[in-house]
């Protein structure tokens, strides 16, 4: 079965994004590509708003049941964020060590993904 998930994030970092937004949009695209490359994912799209530091990530993935879709999409998105050198909050617990459990170590240019909400439902 196909499931559609919709994430809303606030994307911040200690150093402001460049005026042209290339660093913001480039980072978001890197994460989106990593999500889209996962074998369970059928489609991944992103709508961004640099003025508000927000983005919506829509992911369509294949899973046998709803109770498998939710943890799978959370893991895929969380791993994609971490593998892009960013941190995240609100994406579930990963405990590699006590101080870096939410992704990369924080520097002034480390992107930080704050999950605001997520919805998962059957795709139409």
Q: Which domains are present in the chain?
A: 2-122 (3.30.70.100)
pLDDT of residue 95: 38
Cα 99 to the chain's mean position, in Å? 20
What residue has token string 């978001």? 28
Secondary structure of the chain in HEC code, one letter for each residue: CEEEEEEEEEEECCCCCCCCCHHHHHHHHHHHHHHHCCCCEEEEEEEEECCCCEEEEEEEEECCCHHHHHHHHHHHHHHHHHCCCCEEECCCCCCCCCCCCCECCCCCCCCEEEEEEEEEEECC
pLDDT of the chain, 124 residues: tens digit per residue:
999 999 999 999 999 998 889 999 999 999 999 999 999 999 999 999 999 999 999 999 999 998 999 999 999 999 999 999 999 999 874 434 334 446 667 789 999 999 999 999 998 6
The total of other beta-carbon atoms located within 10 Å of residue 29's CB is: 13
């Amino acid at each position: 079965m196909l499931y559609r998930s919709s994430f809303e994030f606030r994307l911040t970092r200690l150093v402001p994004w460049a005026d042209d937004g290339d660093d913001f949009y480039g980072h978001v695209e890197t994460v989106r590509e990593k999500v889209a490359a996962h074998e369970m994912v059928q489609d991944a799209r992103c709508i961004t708003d640099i003025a508000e530091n927000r983005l919506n990530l829509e992911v369509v993935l294949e899973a046998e049941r709803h109770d498998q879709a939710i943890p799978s999409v959370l893991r895929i998105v969380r791993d994609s964020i971490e593998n892009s050198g960013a941190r995240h909050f609100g994406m579930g617990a990963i405990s590699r060590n006590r101080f870096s459990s939410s992704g990369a170590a924080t520097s002034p240019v480390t992107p930080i993904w704050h999950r605001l909400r997520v919805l998962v439902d059957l795709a139409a």
